[in-house]
Chains A and B, each alone.
Chain A
Amino acid sequence: MAEIIITKENFEQEVIKSDKKVLVDFWASWCGPCMMLAPVVEEIANERDDIKVCKINIDDNEELAQKYGVMSIPTLSVFEKGEELRSSVGYKNKQGVLSFIDDKG
């Protein structure tokens, strides 16, 4: 399914209350590695119906970035049942992101 753009208005509904596992991509347009990661994340969003993929632009959502202790981007986080299970910093290839989602890394 398509990626969902997150703001502080829909964060609760889309991420915390999601009944599917959620992959959150914290990014910014000025961050080269984030731009490299974007098509990888998008491809996974389109292929995987069992998870939800959410994008959080950290410039527009400083509070959310701060709340989850994001100090480096790109940061990927996996949420399940409202809890942040794990996070990872830096570019990953498709296989790397899939392993991270499924906790096989």
Chain B
Amino acid sequence: MYDIIIIGAGTAGLTAAIYARRAGKDVIVYEGESYGGQIITTPEIANYPGIKNISGYAFATGLFEQAQELGAEVSFDQISSISGNAREGFTVTGDLGTQQGKTVILACGARNRKMGLADEEKYAGRGVSYCATCDGAFFKGKEVAVFGGGNTALEDAIYLSQICSKVYLIHRRDQFRAEQALVNTALSYDNIVPVLSNVVSGLSGEKALEALELTSTKDESKSTLAVDGLFVAIGQVPSNEFARGFVELDEAGYVKAGEDCHTNVLGVYTAGDGRTKTLRQLTTAAADGAISAVAACNFIAKSFL
């Protein structure tokens, strides 16, 4: 039985592994995709204290190697169920098998929200993208659209306006939700065209995306917008579904916990973007990782003499 099972090898989970290993605990980290989490698509991180500039890939790789060199085990397996309690231990099950631990840290993070359109999968990588900085270069000199009204959407539009001839910024409300400074910057560019009070309701194109169907949120009227690319930035969804019914989640699916990272289940902690919190950043993910690992260590010290 491991001392601590960590689910998720993003910034929160790997930081938890580092702290737990340095405290001498046996640790296994589960990851269903690649290590690093969402940060790996970021070309440049410039707001992590003490590091002036680093790519998301380099940051994630450094963190991963640090955890591994300290002796954290990593299993690339997608955990699909979790059960148990603090007295008898917890059991997690993935595609490759089952493992037991005295404590669990849920650091499952979040992923980009999909639009939920019938053809969405078909056009992914054929004009529909969820990462402007990854895929923007493929749309040099072309007309594209960004769907969303938050900070990410506005940042994407500003980034794309430097590459593309025109960027339509489609948002369901009549004003953007993003910080005012970002909105001002975006609207100062002539080639960013706001399309407010509309949602993307359909995709069309023979081999690749050629046009969007828009539906007005005011009067349900439909219109068509010809674009070569659509960048979807309508927020994140937490990856906690497998833990529903085991720990308490909020309406949006985030694990309910305060800054102490304690869930409603004794011996189970949560860290990173998957936790209910106001600011989702690398620094807050790392902080959660440290807090949850120390909490788990303290719990083990008290409960398993």
Is B truly associated with A? yes
| In the assembled complex, B172 has its CB within 8 A of some CB on chain A | no
The contact of B34 among A31, A72, A91, by CB within 8 Å, is A91
0/1 string, A69-105, CB within 8 A of B gives 1: 1111101000000000001111101110000000000
Does the CB pair A33–B126 fall under 8 Å? no
Asked if A72 contacts B138 (CB within 8 A), the reply is: yes
A36 to B169, alpha carbons, bound, how many Å?
Answer: 31
Question: For window 25-66 of chain B, which residues contact chain A by CB distance below 8 Å?
Answer: 32-36, 39-43, 55-57, 60-61
Contact B34 A36 (CB under 8 A): yes
Q: Does B135 contact A (CB under 8 A)?
A: yes
| B interface size (C-beta, 8 A) | 30
- A93 CA to B30 CA, complexed, in Å: 13
Residues of B within 8 A of A70 (CB): 125, 138
Task: Determine the chain B residues whose CB is within 8 A of the CB of A36 once the complex forms.
Answer: 34-36, 40, 57
Least Cβ–Cβ distance between B119 and chain A, in angstroms: 15
Do residues A71 and B208 form an inter-chain contact, with CB atoms below 8 A?
yes
Give Cα A36 to B95, complex, Å.
21
The secondary-structure label for the interface of chain A is mixed
Contact with B along A15-43 (1 / 0, CB 8 A): 00000000000000011110111000000
Interface contact B34-A89, CB-CB below 8 Å: no
Given contacts A31-B134, A89-B125, contact A69 B208 (CB under 8 A): yes
* Chain B positions within 8 Å of A65 at CB level: 138
List A contacts of B138 (CB < 8 A).
65, 70-72
Please state if A32 and B125 are interface contacts (CB–CB under 8 Å). no
Interface residues of B in 1-36 (CB under 8 A from A): 32-36
B125→A75 contact, CB < 8 A? yes
Report B's interface with A, CB cutoff 8 A: 32-36, 39-43, 55-57, 60-61, 76, 95, 124-127, 129, 131, 134-135, 138-139, 207-208, 229
10 new A-B contacts, CB < 8 A, other than A32-B43, A32-B60, are A32-B56, A69-B208, A70-B138, A71-B229, A72-B138, A75-B125, A91-B34, A93-B32, A93-B34, A94-B76
13 contacts between A and B (CB under 8 A): A31-B41, A32-B36, A32-B55, A32-B57, A32-B60, A71-B127, A71-B135, A72-B131, A73-B134, A87-B125, A89-B125, A90-B125, A91-B34
